[in-house]
């Protein structure tokens, strides 16, 4: 597809890398010439220097003949204007990044008038992800499928875990509930195995598929304490912090928010009357100690500086804080953080780009194989994709044991008329099933049929 991206910042650059890698014809528009030169140096894309909200610039990018325009500048108004202009010029679809929470209700009402097919709020998306992780603090990551009826969760196997030394074929007997290990990280390697002989070991980080109803049983079977988060400390008064604090307060969690800027603190105190807002330097050890970080159930670091977030999270881990969540922007180094006291990392740009990427791939569906969702797991090295099986899929009705899958690919879950099926060899894919597929990210699975080795 021909795709125009306006804005080469964090979200725009992440999308450019992924979409170019998947073979799309990408044009990037940005007003920063230096950023464009760097993008063109490393990627096979066209770049145009200028204001993407100008008709002259959009015509230079051939927007009128494009399949999609993604407006991802730092200004909401600019993004909306870009999309309105693009639709008027003849672009088939548009997506806008909109960060201001006050715009959300209006956008739903004016979506057609603005020519928007989709709008996304990275801060709101990130806050929802953090909130979901705090509901099950034992998990390093948690993603939902099949309208919330199935989940893939990530956790680490410790020395005393019942899973240490267990073969995958024996897993259900050990945990007394039907689950599927769909990915294993051991050292720097990722394993996606269909072999029941694969043996789990201490130190492995595993991604497990289960129905939502079986998650609690799974936790109990492992002897993992499901501690309820009663109080949380948020470092940094960003938009994410506001969204998150509102959700936590509504669920009965006591929230303390530390922000260094006095003017921002005054704004937060008015916006969040039920939150204890503290005007102090959240990176100062003395401040953290005096504010009771060691007695806090959860610490969430949301400053704009990755290094500060990492240091605070490492200190919280050192003190034995039950749950720490770290926001980082530069995710290329996330692999080295796992043994440094940084267990759970969230990235607004990655969450945002994943949602947009799912939409882009869904546009290219064939034979009724609709892509419903896309999640990146295992430090973005693995993708979990949700499809609806079309009537023309050649593999319908055949036992999974008789099908040939591409390497490092498996079916993690089936949803049929509201029932969740953790698949075995005797199970089949039927028309209109929701099928959750797990595959290495570089496989580029766009269609359900792409996972099979046979034609």
Q: Which helix (H) or strand (E) holds 130?
A: helix 122-135
Beta bridge partners of 411: 437
Equal fold, 136-222 vs 360-451: yes
Cα of first residue to Cα of last residue in the chain, in angstroms, is 24
Evaluate if residue 371 carries a pLDDT over 60. Answer: yes
Largest CA distance in the chain: 65
pLDDT for position 133: 86
What span, in angstroms and rounded, lies between the C-alpha atoms of 25 and 59? Answer: 16
What span, in angstroms and rounded, lies between the C-alpha atoms of 157 and 169? Answer: 17
Asked which of 47-61, 98-112, 308-322 is least confident by mean pLDDT, the reply is 98-112
DSSP 8-state assignment for residue 450:
G
Choose the CATH number for 360-451 among 3.20.20.140, 3.40.50.300, 3.30.70.1450, 3.90.1570.10.
3.30.70.1450
What span, in angstroms and rounded, lies between the C-alpha atoms of 176 and 171? Answer: 8
Q: For residue 290, what are the contacts with CB-CB under 8 A and spacing of at least 6?
A: none
pLDDT for position 118: 87
What span, in angstroms and rounded, lies between the C-alpha atoms of 374 and 444? Answer: 12
pLDDT for position 340: 64
Evaluate if residue 376 carries a pLDDT over 60. Answer: yes
CATH level 2 (architecture), domain 2-120 = 3-Layer(aba) Sandwich (3.40)
Query: What is the tens place of the pLDDT at every residue in 436-448?
Result: 999 988 777 878 8
What span, in angstroms and rounded, lies between the C-alpha atoms of 289 and 275? Answer: 19
Mean pLDDT of 189-210: 86
What span, in angstroms and rounded, lies between the C-alpha atoms of 349 and 41? Answer: 22
Evaluate if residue 80 carries a pLDDT over 80. Answer: yes
Beta carbons of 232 and 248 less than 8 angstroms apart: yes
Mean pLDDT of 59-85: 94
Calculate ∠ Cα 256-259-265, nearest 5°.
90
What span, in angstroms and rounded, lies between the C-alpha atoms of 190 and 204? Answer: 10
Helix, strand or coil for residue 132? helix
Evaluate if residue 65 carries a pLDDT over 50. Answer: yes
What span, in angstroms and rounded, lies between the C-alpha atoms of 224 and 156? Answer: 11
Beta bridge partners of 421: 414
pLDDT for position 446: 79
pLDDT for position 367: 47
Query: What is the tens place of the pLDDT at every residue in 377-415?
Result: 887 788 888 888 888 888 999 999 898 888 889 999 999
Tokens 């569906």, residue? 365
Distance of CA 425 to the CA centre of its chain: 30
Q: Is the model more confident about 454 or about 16?
A: 16
Domain 136-222 coded CATH 3.30.70.1450: yes
Q: List phi, psi (to 5°) of 81.
A: -65, -40
Beta carbons of 345 and 317 less than 8 angstroms apart: no
Beta carbons of 145 and 179 less than 8 angstroms apart: no
Q: What is the pTM of this model?
A: 0.78
Give me the count of residues in the chain: 455
What are the residue ranges of helices labelled H in 232-380?
Answer: 239-250, 262-271, 285-290, 306-319, 348-363
- Nearest CA to 1 out of 70, 78, 57 is that of 70
Beta carbons of 409 and 451 less than 8 angstroms apart: yes
CATH of domain 231-321: 3.40.50.720
- Mean per-residue pLDDT over the chain, rounded: 87
Percent over 90 (pLDDT), the chain: 45
Beta carbons of 237 and 261 less than 8 angstroms apart: yes
What span, in angstroms and rounded, lies between the C-alpha atoms of 283 and 259? Answer: 10
Evaluate if residue 290 carries a pLDDT over 60. Answer: yes
Give the model's confidence band at 334: pLDDT under 50 very low, under 70 low, under 90 confident, else very high.
Answer: low
Beta carbons of 80 and 98 less than 8 angstroms apart: yes
**Where do the domains of the chain lie?**
2-120, 136-222, 231-321, 360-451
Evaluate if residue 93 carries a pLDDT over 70. Answer: yes
Structure tokens at 251: 């669920």
What span, in angstroms and rounded, lies between the C-alpha atoms of 357 and 118? Answer: 12
Mean pLDDT of 127-139: 85
Query: What is the tens place of the pLDDT at every residue in 238-284?
Result: 999 999 999 999 999 999 999 999 999 999 999 999 999 999 999 99
Q: For residue 259, what are the contacts with CB-CB under 8 A and spacing of at least 6?
A: 236, 237, 241, 265, 268, 277, 278, 279, 280, 282
Mean pLDDT of 157-166: 88
**Range among 164-173, 190-199, 301-310 with highest mean pLDDT value:** 301-310
- CA separation, residue 252 to residues 5, 135, 231, 263 (Å): 41, 12, 9, 27
What span, in angstroms and rounded, lies between the C-alpha atoms of 101 and 76? Answer: 11
């Amino acid at each position: 597809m021909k795709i125009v991206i306006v804005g080469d910042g964090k979200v725009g650059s992440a999308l450019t890398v992924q979409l170019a890698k998947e073979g799309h014809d990408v044009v990037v528009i940005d007003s920063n010439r230096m950023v464009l030169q760097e993008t063109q140096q490393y990627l096979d894309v066209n770049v145009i220097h200028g204001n993407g909200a100008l008709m002259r610039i959009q015509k230079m990018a051939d927007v009128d003949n494009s399949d999609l325009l993604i407006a991802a500048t730092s200004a909401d108004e600019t993004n909306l204007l870009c999309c309105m202009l693009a639709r008027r010029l003849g672009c088939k679809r548009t997506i806008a990044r909109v960060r201001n929470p006050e715009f959300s209700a209006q956008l739903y009402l004016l979506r057609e008038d603005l020519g928007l097919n989709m709008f996304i709020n990275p801060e709101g998306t990130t806050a929802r992800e953090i909130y979901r992780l705090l509901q099950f603090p034992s998990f390093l990551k948690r993603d939902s499928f099949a309208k919330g009826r199935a989940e893939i969760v990530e956790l680490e196997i410790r020395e005393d875990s019942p899973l240490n030394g267990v073969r995958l074929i024996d897993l259900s007997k050990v945990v007394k509930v039907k689950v599927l290990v769909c990915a294993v990280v051991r050292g720097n390697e990722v394993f996606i195995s269909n072999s029941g002989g694969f043996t789990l070991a201490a130190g492995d980080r595993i991604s497990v598929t289960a129905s939502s109803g079986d998650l609690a049983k799974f936790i109990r079977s492992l002897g993992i304490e499901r501690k309820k988060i009663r109080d949380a400390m948020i470092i940094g008064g960003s938009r994410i912090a506001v969204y998150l604090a509102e959700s936590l307060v509504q669920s009965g969690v006591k929230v303390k928010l530390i922000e260094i800027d006095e003017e921002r603190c005054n704004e937060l105190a008015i916006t969040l009357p039920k939150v204890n807002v503290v005007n102090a330097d959240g990176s100062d050890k003395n401040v953290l100690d005096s504010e009771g970080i060691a007695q806090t159930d959860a610490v969430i670091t949301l400053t704009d500086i990755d290094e500060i977030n990492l240091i605070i999270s490492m200190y919280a881990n050192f003190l034995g804080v039950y749950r720490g969540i770290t926001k980082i922007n530069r995710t290329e180094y996330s692999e080295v953080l796992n043994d440094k006291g940084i267990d759970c990392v969230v990235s607004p740009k990655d969450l945002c780009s994943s949602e947009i990427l799912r939409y882009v791939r869904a546009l290219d569906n064939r034979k009724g194989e609709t892509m419903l969702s896309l999640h990146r797991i295992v430090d973005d090295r693995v993708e979990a994709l949700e499809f609806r099986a079309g009537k023309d899929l050649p593999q319908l009705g055949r036992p999974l044991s008789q099908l040939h899958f591409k390497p490092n690919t498996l079916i993690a879950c089936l949803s049929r008329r509201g029932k969740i099926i953790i698949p075995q060899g005797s199970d089949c894919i039927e028309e209109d099933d929701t099928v959750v597929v797990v595959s290495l990210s570089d496989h580029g699975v766009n269609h359900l049929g792409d996972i099979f080795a046979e034609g």
